[in-house]
A and B are shown apart, each in its own frame.
Chain A
Amino acid sequence: MTALLRIEGLRIEFDGDDGPLVAVDGAGLSVAPGEVVGLIGESGSGKSLTCRSVMRLIPRPGRVAAGEIEFDGRDVLAMSGKELRDFRAHDAGMIYQDPFSSLNPVHRIREQIAETLRVNLGMDKAGARAQAVELLDGVGIPDPERRALSYPHELSGGMRQRVMIALATASRPRLLLADEPTTALDVTTQAQILALMLRLRAERGMAVLLVSHDFGVISQVCDRVVVMYAGHVVETGPIEALYTNAQHPYTRALLESVPQLESAGRRTRRPGIAGVPPELSEVLPGCVFMPRCRHAQPGCASISMALQPVSEGHETACPVRPFAGTDSAPAARAGAQS
């Protein structure tokens, strides 16, 4: 299958006092049509920047210093103003963590969706309003005719996120970029929003790039996972492979840190990960995870962060492979096979 979205060698820099600060360094990933890909990492790993770069929405003074972003064979980074506008309007939609700050507080929901439809799809006013109500119905908002007349503050967080999804998918994009879409929501609402995204994927064949820090969320909806740490992609592969056979020490440490409901009643001690991620100004030679790695070896200071194949579609940036052949995180006990 050819990729719908392909990112390669992405480098995002910010200006620092002593030369550029590199927030994302050589990141690459691909999303096939209709595929749900999870991008996971802790704060500061560069996952959100990578996601936003697809829409060319890197906040200034940040910039893409190198790399390629290709959507359906078209070079996103080379697009002119009009092409970019078209791309954002028709090909990709984006939703954010906080739907309240992405909606205009002084306009009714219906008008905001209708505006998008008029501008992007050239619909007339009456048609756009009717379509807006239909879209609200499509994302599972009860009583859409009445709700369409609400202002954002009159809706709950889950409802607002549904409105955002209705907006982002109004022109039936082939790719939805979702940056921590459920982080601000309750678990029950979160489950509904995730189910909605899966439904849209099933109905329209829409691909999703889901950015999250939560393995629970990722494992429920994603086909493949990309793990980022300190601006680098450290491991990528099918979700099953990562759960049962994670090869990068960071992925494993992350999996082992995830609290589990099954621990109820047992005293649990999880090791977590010692130390802190490197500052942007710290440029580490070799493996960026080495200072915190339990399996570090002297040679790690001079390796490259290039991904190496483990199996079909599964790649890791760790050449040491301290876990060859061993079972992965305790989470894998649920009985998945690789």
Chain B
Amino acid sequence: MTELLRVQGVVKEFGLRRTVAERVTRNAPEPYRAVDDVSFTLRRGEILGLAGGSGSGKTTLARCIVRLIEPDAGTVELDGVDVRAAGGRELRELRRRMQMVFQDPYASLNPRMTVATALLEVGSVHQRPGAENGEQFVREALERVHLGPGIAKRRPRELSGGQRQRVAIARALAAGPEVLIADEPVSALDVSVQAQLLNLFGDLRDDLGVAILFVAHQLAVIAEVADRVAVMNRGRLVEVGETAAVFGNPQDEYTKALLAAHPHPRLSRAAS
């Protein structure tokens, strides 16, 4: 498999407010390193899981890649094109090729737009082939996420949580991306719906060949969907490897702790 996205030495620091003592002594606090020298690659047609506890920097890293947050250092290359150096038209094109899906589809879909309008907007903004034939464009976009055409006229509030997330994914795919960056895309869903969404992510990889960076805090979700996994702790990438290898034989202490704390749905009760 060939490399598609290469992230190298990415750093993001956030300044902290000075405490009273620091203001008095005119000292500046050490900035907080949310992402600390992170490097990894995403290959064509693979799902890379990004795991870690809350505050480990998963989301910040995901946003740095598409420059929703501007990284302080490091390079991000999509298929050899430097993302950090791009601007204007070039950056817009790069962002078309790297689409994001967020945790809460209700917050990321415009409540006043019907599903069809939202999908068509993507088509016309990015001048996607086929967008001039609206009805068919929408139907195909919905088919990709296994939704019927009947949903096109509805607004987000008329959809279930699972349908909403599918629409959000359909909208991301309507731009024709090569990389999908999914930030906790199934965390807000019930398990029965979550299972179907995970199948869908697998289908997108297999059928469309999209590479997916799949951010999730639930290790079991990553185990089911990801080919490789990267584990983050305190802004650093502590372990990267094949999912089976990392979960079966973790090398890093933090990965071990995460796996040990995982609530196994089986009868291994701590006390009885």
Contact = CB atoms under 8 A, between A and B. Distances in A.
Interface in A190-240: 190-191, 194-195, 198-199, 202, 213-217, 219-221, 223, 239-240
Contacts of A217: 263
B108 interface: no
Chain B, interface residues (CB within 8 Å), range = 35 or more
A276 B242 contact: no
B195 A264 contact: no
Contacts of A202: 271
A257 B268 contact: no
Interface in B106-163: 160-162
Nearest to A199: B271
Interface string B225-245: 000000000000000001111
Nearest to A265: B244
B219 A187 contact: yes
A149 B187 CA distance: 34
A96 interface: no
A198 B269 CA distance: 10
B91 interface: no
Chain A contact residues, majority secondary structure: helix
Contacts of A260: 220, 223-224, 265
Contacts of A267: 202
A240 B272 CA distance: 12
B261 A190 contact: yes
A254 B263 CA distance: 16
Chain B contact residues, majority secondary structure: helix
Interface in A244-302: 253-273, 276
B4 interface: no
Contact of B191 (A186, A213, A243, A262): A213
Contacts of A272: 191-196, 199
A157 to B, nearest CB: 8
A264 B248 contact: yes
Most buried by B among A213, A243, A264, A271: A264
Contact of A187 (B53, B195, B223, B271): B53
Nearest to A335: B267
Given A257-B191, A269-B202, A186 B54 contact: yes
Contacts of B265: 215-216, 219, 255, 258, 260, 331
B24 interface: no
B264 interface: yes
Contacts of B190: 42-43, 213
Contacts of B223: 259-264
Contacts of A255: 265
Given A216-B262, A257-B192, A271-B195, 11 more contacts: A157-B54, A188-B261, A194-B263, A202-B271, A220-B263, A221-B271, A259-B191, A259-B224, A260-B220, A263-B224, A272-B195
